[in-house]
């Protein structure tokens, strides 16, 4: 299926969010949202992905 990961189109066979993160090489401290809704880390393995989902993966960054 086709998803948008941090704004970039991507083809994936991952069925859940945790699998997608592993597939993309994410580890460490990241937070996730699907279609603008926060998905807690503990819920990623139960969160099914759907065609067209907009997925955001964010991490700590400098800020004011």
**Tokens standing for residue 22:** 């592993």
From the CB of 49, what's the least distance to another protein, in Å?
A: 18
From the CB of 55, what's the least distance to another protein, in Å?
A: 11
Number of CB atoms found within 10 A of residue 24's CB? 14
Complex with another protein: residue 13 or 61, whichever CB lies closer: 61
* Closest to 20 (Cα-Cα) out of 38, 63, 36, 34: 34
Question: Binding residue for another protein (CB under 8 A) from 9, 11, 28, 51?
Answer: 28
First vs last C-alpha separation in the chain: 38
Residues in contact with another protein by the rule CB under 8 A:
6-7, 24-33, 36-38, 40-41, 56-64
């Amino acid at each position: 299926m086709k998803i948008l990961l941090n704004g970039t189109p991507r083809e994936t066979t991952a069925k859940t969010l945790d699998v997608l993160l592993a597939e993309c090489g994410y580890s460490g401290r990241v937070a996730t949202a699907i279609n603008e809704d926060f998905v807690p880390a503990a819920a990623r393995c139960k969160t099914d992905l759907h065609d067209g989902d907009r997925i955001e993966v964010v991490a700590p960054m400098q800020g004011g």
